[in-house]
């Protein structure tokens, strides 16, 4: 994994002065009745990526499942360094949409995934943010700015559309796929090919949780260096893919295995 975007660079080792608030508090508005697993997968990933504290602010039924999978999780709103919004959330879910709109107009850094890409009001979004669409979500995202394209257009020239979305939103865009394109301002970087073992349901939810943990852990540096978000996004994609490769060496890969292997890789690197 070692190169200029070496993921380990973003995982400062813990020391005696650390407490649960000092190395990243990640909040989630994710999961729903139809997609409870998306809530669980993101949370699992953030915990394995070393978050000091994880808050979950989804609906109460899904919250019970999340806490049953991870009793470390604290429920509700509170002090957070990065919010992960939208994995497993339908845009017509009014309870969660209200929370997403509220957080989307505040200053805490964000990962905006899946349904939240259709909810957030981009005209008031100023927090440092990574958007994580796949190609079909990119079509819907661009349509919100009056830009009409089809999935085939995105697949043909992903770099151009990642850049377009970054310019329209003023944010860092991570366009997911076999190769992932990270764009910010006028720069775009291809990452991958990623591990094909990521082609399994929920692996995007794991990436969102990983990104949330990495952004939260580096929140202080990010406050003075916005450009760091681009590097963190690239590093997260590389770590996510490396974790899938590591998982595949053990057994067939499910998304939760990718989250577990993030923890194994990070433990080995320290
Ligand atoms: N366990 C859980 O709780 C899980 C919850 N999940 C949550 O589910 C929600 C919906 O996820 P989803 O957008 O992937 O929609 P899904 O209904 O599967 O497909 C609809 C259409 O989308 C397209 N499409 C899909 N993937 C694509 C790609 N990579 N690249 C390009 N296009 C792609 C494809 O349409 P096509 O373009 O082929 O016409 C497909 O027919 C979301 O909130 C997510 O977080 C998931 O993470 C799974 C595990
Ligand atoms: N064939 C593939 N090769 C490499 N990576 C892939 C492949 N298919 C999907 N991925 C990666 O897996 C993840 C899938 O995320 P997403 O499309 O949001 O799925 P889900 O909604 O099921 O979580 C992304 O990180 C994407 O880059």
Q: What pLDDT score was predicted for residue 4?
A: 41
pLDDT tens, residue by residue, 199-221: 999 999 999 999 999 999 999 99
Confidence tier at 188 by pLDDT (50, 70, 90): very high
Query: Rounded CA gap, 202 and 109, in Å?
Result: 23
Instruction: Look at ligand 2, atom 6, and give the residue with the nearest C-alpha.
Output: 178
Give the ligand whose atoms come closest to the C-alpha of residue 233.
2
Ligand 1 centroid to Cα of residue 111, in Å, is: 17
Give the ligand whose atoms come closest to the C-alpha of residue 175.
2
Burial of 62 (0-12, 13-18, 19+ CB in 10 A): buried
Check pLDDT > 80 for residue 270: no
Q: What pLDDT score was predicted for residue 255?
A: 98
Nearest to 5 by CA among 172, 177, 186, 189: 189
Ligand 1 centroid to Cα of residue 88, in Å, is: 9
Query: Rounded CA gap, 203 and 42, in Å?
Result: 9
Query: What residue ranges define each of the domains in the chain, with the CATH number in brackets?
Result: 7-12+21-269 (3.40.1190.20)
Check pLDDT > 60 for residue 164: yes
Report the nearest atom of ligand 2 relative to the CA of 198: 12
Check pLDDT > 70 for residue 1: no
Instruction: Among 87, 201, 203, say which to mutate for ligand 2: greatest number of ligand atoms within 8 Å of CB.
Output: 203
Residues 6+ apart with CB under 8 A from 54: 25, 26, 27, 28, 43, 46, 47, 70, 72, 73, 74
Q: What pLDDT score was predicted for residue 269?
A: 86
Residues whose beta carbon lies within 6 Å of some atom of ligand 1? 35, 37-38, 87-89, 114-115, 134-136, 151, 201-202, 204-205
Check pLDDT > 60 for residue 248: yes
Confidence tier at 28 by pLDDT (50, 70, 90): very high
| pLDDT, averaged across the chain | 96
Q: What pLDDT score was predicted for residue 135?
A: 98
Check pLDDT > 50 for residue 3: no
Check pLDDT > 80 for residue 50: yes
Q: What pLDDT score was predicted for residue 8?
A: 87
Q: What pLDDT score was predicted for residue 7?
A: 84
- Return the beta strands (E) in the chain as ranges: 25-29, 53-56, 74-75, 82-85, 110-113, 129-132, 172-175, 180-184, 187-191
DSSP string, 126-147: -S-EEEE--HHHHHHHHHTTT-
Instruction: Look at ligand 1, atom 31, and give the residue with the nearest C-alpha.
Output: 135
Confidence tier at 2 by pLDDT (50, 70, 90): very low
Q: What pLDDT score was predicted for residue 5?
A: 52
Ligand 1 centroid to Cα of residue 160, in Å, is: 22
Instruction: Look at ligand 1, atom 7, and give the residue with the nearest C-alpha.
Output: 88
- Of the chain, the percentage scoring pLDDT greater than 90 comes to 94
Structure-block tokens of residue 35: 């997609």
SS3 48: helix
Give the pLDDT mean for 156-184: 98
Q: What pLDDT score was predicted for residue 178?
A: 98
Q: Is the ipTM of this complex over 0.95?
A: yes
Give the pLDDT mean for 260-265: 96
Ligand 1 centroid to Cα of residue 202, in Å, is: 9
Q: What pLDDT score was predicted for residue 232?
A: 97
pLDDT tens, residue by residue, 96-131: 999 999 999 999 999 999 999 999 999 999 999 999
């Amino acid at each position: 994994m070692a190169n200029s975007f070496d993921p380990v660079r973003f995982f400062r080792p813990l020391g005696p002065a650390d407490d649960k608030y000092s190395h990243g508090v990640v909040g989630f508005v994710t999961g729903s009745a139809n997609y409870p697993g998306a809530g669980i997968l993101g949370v699992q990933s953030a915990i394995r990526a070393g978050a000091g504290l994880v808050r979950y602010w989804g609906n109460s039924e899904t919250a019970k499942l999340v806490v049953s999978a991870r009793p470390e999780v604290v429920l509700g709103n509170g002090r957070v360094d990065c919010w992960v919004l939208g994995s497993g959330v339908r845009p017509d879910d009014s309870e969660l949409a209200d929370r997403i709109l509220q957080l989307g107009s505040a200053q805490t850094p964000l990962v905006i995934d899946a349904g939240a890409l259709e909810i957030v009001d981009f005209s008031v979004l100023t927090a440092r943010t990574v958007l994580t669409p796949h190609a079909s979500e990119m079509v819907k995202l661009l349509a919100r700015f009056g830009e009409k394209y089809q999935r085939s257009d995105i697949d043909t020239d992903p770099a151009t559309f990642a850049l377009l979305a970054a310019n329209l939103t003023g944010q860092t865009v991570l366009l997911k796929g076999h190769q992932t394109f990270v764009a910010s301002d006028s720069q775009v970087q291809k990452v991958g090919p990623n591990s094909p073992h990521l082609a399994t349901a929920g692996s995007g939810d794991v990436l969102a949780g990983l990104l949330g943990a990495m952004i939260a852990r580096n929140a202080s540096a990010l406050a003075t260096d916005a450009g760091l978000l681009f590097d963190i996004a690239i590093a997260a994609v590389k770590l996510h893919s490396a974790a899938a490769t590591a998982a595949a060496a053990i057994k067939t890969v499910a998304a939760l295995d990718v989250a577990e292997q993030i923890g194994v890789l990070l433990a080995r690197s320290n």
